[in-house]
Amino acid sequence: MNIAAISHRTTIEYSYALNENTVVINLKTDKDVDKAYIIHGDPFIHELRGKQKWFGDKLEMQKLAELKYHVIWTVRISPKYKRLQYYFEVESMGECYVVCENKICPVSEADNTSWQYYKYAWLNSADIIKPPSWVKDTVWYQIMPDRFCRAADSPKNSKFKTWGDFEKPTWLDVYGGNLRGITEKLPYLKELGISGIYMTPIFRSGSNHKYNTYDYWEVDPDFGTEEDLTELIDKAHEMGIRVMLDAVFNHCGHEFFAWQDVFEKGRGSRYYDWFFINSEDFAKYEFSTEDARFFSFSFWSGMPKLNTNNPEVVEYFTKLCTHWAKDWKIDGIRFDVGDEVSHAFINSLNSSIKKINPDIFFLGEIWMDSISWLGGREYDSVMNYPLPGCINDFWKNRDLSFTDFIYSLNYCRTLYPEQTTLSLFNFLDTHDTSRVSEISRGENELLQKLTVLMTMPGTACIYYGTEIAMKGLYTPYNRSTMPWDEIENGDYDSIKSKISNLIHLRHQYKEFRSNEIKFNRHPGFPRLVDYTKSDKIRIVLNAETNPCEVSVEGDIIYKNNYSDGILQENGIVISAIN
Residues with active-site annotation: 336, 365
Helices and strands, counts by H and E, the chain: 14, 26
Cross-strand partners of 99: 88, 104
Q: With beta carbons less than 8 A apart as the criterion, state whether 22 and 3 touch.
A: no
Name the amino acid, one letter, at 8.
H
Query: Dihedrals φ, ψ of 171, to 5°?
Result: -70, -15
d(CA 102, CA 84): 17
Contact between residue 85 and residue 53 where contact means Cβ atoms under 8 Å apart: no
Q: Cα(473)–Cα(415) distance, rounded to whole angstroms?
A: 29
Provide CB contacts within 8 A for 418, sequence distance 6+. Answer: 18, 24, 515
Report cis status (omega within 30 of 0) of the bond before 476: yes
Contact yes or no for 38/88 (Cβ under 8 A): yes
Q: Which amino acid is located at 312 in the chain?
A: E
Instruction: Give the list of residues 6+ apart from residue 265 with CB closer than 8 angstroms, or none.
Output: 272
The torsion angle over the Cα atoms of residues 354, 357, 361 and 362, rounded to 10 degrees, is -30
- φ/ψ of 444, rounded to 5, equals -65, -40
How would you class 503 by CB atoms within 10 Å of its CB: exposed for 0-12, middle for 13-18, buried for 19 or more?
buried
Task: Report how far residue 58's alpha carbon sits from residue 52's, in angstroms, rounded to the nearest whole number.
Answer: 19
